[in-house]
Structure 1
């Protein structure tokens, strides 16, 4: 089984560049949020009537689920991120669909962005707070956006374009 395992494919450079771009952009913004503007010291910073910037440290996963206060829990989440990133990369190596490659690259870039946070800070830097009227969304970051957009593209390709349906 390992004999047939490939780590590079025809579109790997594309996936690497797009995921890398997402990772670098995500980390630059987070660096600015934490170290340059120091949002933690200022609290909420309004940007638009429905959008604020605020520093929130997330020790869990999406939507703040599975908060991990212990070092072992944080190591587990970091390890899971590494395993998921490897799986996404291996999936992309075998993919021949351009749409799927875009989606996988976005998801991989987002996963790596949040993974770097886990290694550097022991938690994820979240900073985008979306709200309209009484509706309030959770605080998230660019890496989360990349993951959600990538997943939405996968769903679009599967349902709308019919990929994976029996012929």
Structure 2
């Protein structure tokens, strides 16, 4: 009996890819590019790098300014990622597996920030396109993953 199917491996691989890209980008923003000292930097057109320490959940909702809230959010993120990992192990559809992988990687990436820094490192700023939030790769992965899960739920089940 296999513990994980091919789609589960896809989910885990995608989660790892998101996690690695997220953490590398945050390391670069904080310690190489030193964005905190600059606050905001124009990159091209409407794209800016803007430093924001997000103490809330996605897009700054439900702030967790106290240590208890911070650690509850870390624990919640890790529990969600673990539950999704169990679900992904035997995912029958590639779209669902990809969606679960994106959400898992993003959840763990932001949990690492909360544990290390007490807040999530956000820096991608496209507010000139009327999108008012600053976000990171983990946030983008979670958002795309949730959208893919919704799309997958609208698919009709195939009769095998």
TM-score by length of 2: 0.90
Alignment of 1:5-154 (within 5 A): 8-11=3-6, 12-132=8-128, 135-154=130-149
- CA apart distance, 1:163: 4.7
Aligned residues: 156
Distance 1:9 1:136, change over 3 A: closer
- CA apart distance, 1:105: 0.5
Q: Does 1:155 align with 2:131?
A: no
Unaligned runs of 5+ in 1: 1-7
Structure with the larger RCO, 1 or 2 (CA within 8 Å, 6+ apart): 2
Q: In 2, distance between residues paired with 1:89 and 1:126?
A: 25
- CA apart distance, 1:14: 2.5
TM-score by length of 1: 0.87
Distance 1:120 1:163, change over 3 A: farther
Q: In 1, distance between residues paired with 2:157 and 2:132?
A: 32
Q: For 2:15, what is the secondary structure of its paired residue? A: helix
Unaligned runs of 5+ in 2: none
Q: For 1:46, what is the secondary structure of its paired residue? A: strand
The CA RMSD measured in Å over matched residues stands at 1.8
